[in-house]
A and B are shown apart, each in its own frame.
Chain A
Amino acid sequence: MTIVENHEFPMARTCPFAPPPAYEEIREEEPVSRVRLPDGEWAWVVSRHEDVRTVLNDRRFSADRQHPDFPQLVKGEAASRRPDEERTLITMDAPEHGPARKAVLGEFTVRRLEALRPRIQEIVDGQIDALLAGPQPGDLVDSLSLPVPSLVICEMLGVPYADHEFFQEHTVKVIKQSTPPEERWAATKAIQGYMADLIAEKEDNPPEDLLGRQIVKLRENGTYRRTALAGMGFLLLVAGHETTANMISLSTVAFLRNPEQLAMIKADPGKTLNAVEEMLRYFTIIDAATARLCVEDIEVGGQLIRAGEGVLALGYSANRDPRAFENPDELDIERGARHHVAFGFGPHQCLGQNLARMELQIVFNTLFRRVPSLELAVDVDELPFKDDANIYGLYQLPVTW
C-alpha cells in the first residue's frame, strides 16, 4: 500500500466562524487519515466525534509531550525538547496524573466556584463601568475580555494583578505559533520563575489562596515541591488567561451577528448556560492541541493505530460532526451542545471548565443587559483574528454603544 499524506497540519482557519474547509472532506471521506507535520514527520488525524472521544479517553494514548515520538505541531519544537522539564498536568499520564490532578481539583468543584459568583459579577460590572466611562470606540478585549478572567485567576491563585502586564506579555509568546522555540522556552521559564518566587514568599505563612492552600495540602501528604507547584501555577495562570478571554470576544461577535439568538438569552437568562455550551462548540478555540502518542496498538474508527504513532484529535471537526450535532454549522443556542469536546475529553478534560462557564455566563448576562446598544465599530472582515495562535481568538474588538 502506498502511503499518501494528503494534508499538512496544523491547518489554519480561513473563516472565523468555521473550521478549515478540508476538515469536512477528511471527516466524510477518510476520517482517520495520515497528515504531514511541520517537521516533516507524519501523524494520524482523527476527525469524528465518537473517535475523538475514544482517543482522548483511552490509556493507550499518552499525553507525554516530552517523549521523542510525540507529534510536534510547531516547526523546530522537537529539537528544543527538554527531557528534564518539570512535568505539568497536561503532560502526565496515569498513574502519575490522577493524584496530581485530584490534589488541586477541590479548588474547582462546581459548589466551590459557585461561591465566587458574586465576586466575579462585581469584577464584570467594574470592567463594564470602565468601558462605558471611556472613549468610543472602545476595545472590548482590553476593557473586558482579558481583564475579567485575568483578575479572577489572579485572585484565586493569590497572584498580584499589578503584575498582569508581565505575564500577559509572556503568555502571548507562549501561545503564538510563530514564536521561535528558544523564545517560547524563555517566556515559559520567566513565568515559572516568577511563580516560584511568589510561592517561596508564601511558604513561611501560607495564605488563604489557592497556592497557599496547595502548599499546606501537599506538605501534609509529603509531596510538596516548589518547582512542581510553580509548574501548576504557570498552567493555571496561562490557561485561565487566554482561553476565556478569547471566548468572550468571539462570542460577543457571534451574538451581535445573530440578534435572534441574542434576543433569546436577553429574554430568558436561564438559557445563557446552554448558549455558552453552543459558543464553546461553535468556535472550539483550542483544536489540534489535543495531540497524543499511541503507546499500545488500538483500532480507532476501523483504522489500526500502532504504538509509537502520533495522533491529532481534531476537536473542531468533532464539534462540527453531523453524527453528533444536527446542522452543525448553524449557531443554535437551544440545541443542547453539552457533549461537545471544546474542553477536551477524558482524564485531561479542562480543569477550569466550570470557572470558564461561569465567567462566560456572567459576562453575557451582564454585558448585553447593561449595554443594549453594543455594536461592532468595524466590519467583521476587518477584525484582527488570531490566525497565528494555538488558541484562536481576537487581538482587538473595537465596539461602540
Chain B
Amino acid sequence: MKIIVDTGKCVGAGQCVLTEPALFDQSKDDGTIIVLNETPDGELAEKAREAAHVCPSQALSLEE
C-alpha cells in the first residue's frame, strides 16, 4: 500500500492523526497533513484505510 496525499485539499481537521499518530502528523504552522510512513502494512495499513474513510476533504488516498 502507498499513501498519497494532496496537501492542497487538506483542511487540517486532524482526523488522520487521531486515527493513527504513528502514520500521520500535522504541520505545526498550518495544521496540514504530514505522512510519517508512506508504505504501511498489516495493522497500520488498516489504519490508513480508516483515515482515508474519515478524511473530510478527500485529501488522502491509497494505492493498494
- The residues of A that contact B4 with a CB separation of less than 8 Å are none
Alpha-carbon separation in the docked complex, A349 to B15 (Å):
11
In residues 287-345 of chain A, which contact B (Cβ within 8 Å)? 338-339, 343-345
In residues 5-25 of chain B, which contact A (Cβ within 8 Å)? 11-15, 17-19, 21, 25
Pick the contact of B57: A343, A347, A350, A354 (CB < 8 A): A347
Smallest beta-carbon distance A72→chain B, Å = 26
Let me know if B37 is at the binding interface, CB within 8 A.
no
Alpha-carbon separation in the docked complex, A112 to B30 (Å):
12
B14 A57 Cβ-Cβ under 8 A? no
Listed stretches A22-30, A103-111, A232-240, A385-393; interface member: A103-111
Given contacts A102-B31, A110-B21, contact A354 B14 (CB under 8 A): yes
Let me know if A353 is at the binding interface, CB within 8 A.
yes
A57 B58 Cβ-Cβ under 8 A? yes
Please tell me the number of chain A residues within 8 Å of chain B, measured between CB atoms.
25
Alpha-carbon separation in the docked complex, A102 to B7 (Å):
12
Most buried by B among A101, A110, A111: A110
Closest to B54 in A: A338
Pick the contact of B26: A57, A111, A343 (CB < 8 A): A111
B14 A346 Cβ-Cβ under 8 A? no
Let me know if B2 is at the binding interface, CB within 8 A.
no
Let me know if B50 is at the binding interface, CB within 8 A.
yes
Given contacts A109-B17, A349-B13, contact A103 B57 (CB under 8 A): no
A108 B14 Cβ-Cβ under 8 A? yes
A109 B15 Cβ-Cβ under 8 A? no
B11 A349 Cβ-Cβ under 8 A? yes
Could you pull out 23 A-B pairs where Cβ atoms are within 8 angstroms? Answer: A57-B57, A57-B58, A101-B11, A102-B31, A105-B12, A105-B26, A105-B31, A105-B32, A108-B12, A108-B31, A109-B12, A109-B31, A110-B14, A110-B17, A110-B21, A111-B17, A338-B19, A338-B53, A343-B13, A347-B11, A348-B11, A354-B13, A354-B14
Alpha-carbon separation in the docked complex, A346 to B12 (Å):
10
Let me know if B63 is at the binding interface, CB within 8 A.
no
Alpha-carbon separation in the docked complex, A101 to B32 (Å):
11
- Seen from chain B, the residues whose Cβ lies within 8 Å of a Cβ on chain A are 11-15, 17-19, 21, 25-32, 50, 53-54, 56-58
Query: Chain A contact residues: over half helix, strand or loop, or mixed?
Result: helix
Alpha-carbon separation in the docked complex, A345 to B58 (Å):
10
Closest to B26 in A: A109
Closest to B51 in A: A338
- The residues of A that contact B54 with a CB separation of less than 8 Å are 338-339
- The residues of B that contact A108 with a CB separation of less than 8 Å are 12, 14, 31
Alpha-carbon separation in the docked complex, A105 to B54 (Å):
19
- The residues of A that contact B12 with a CB separation of less than 8 Å are 101-102, 105, 108-109
In residues 65-118 of chain A, which contact B (Cβ within 8 Å)? 98, 101-103, 105-106, 108-112
Alpha-carbon separation in the docked complex, A350 to B26 (Å):
16
Pick the contact of B56: A57, A101, A102 (CB < 8 A): A57
Alpha-carbon separation in the docked complex, A110 to B58 (Å):
19
Q: Pick the 10 closest A-B CB pairs, nearest first.
A: A105-B31, A102-B30, A105-B12, A109-B26, A349-B56, A110-B17, A110-B14, A347-B11, A338-B54, A345-B56
Smallest beta-carbon distance A204→chain B, Å = 25
- The residues of B that contact A110 with a CB separation of less than 8 Å are 14, 17-18, 21, 26
- The residues of B that contact A345 with a CB separation of less than 8 Å are 56
A109 B14 Cβ-Cβ under 8 A? yes
Closest to B9 in A: A347
Alpha-carbon separation in the docked complex, A105 to B10 (Å):
11
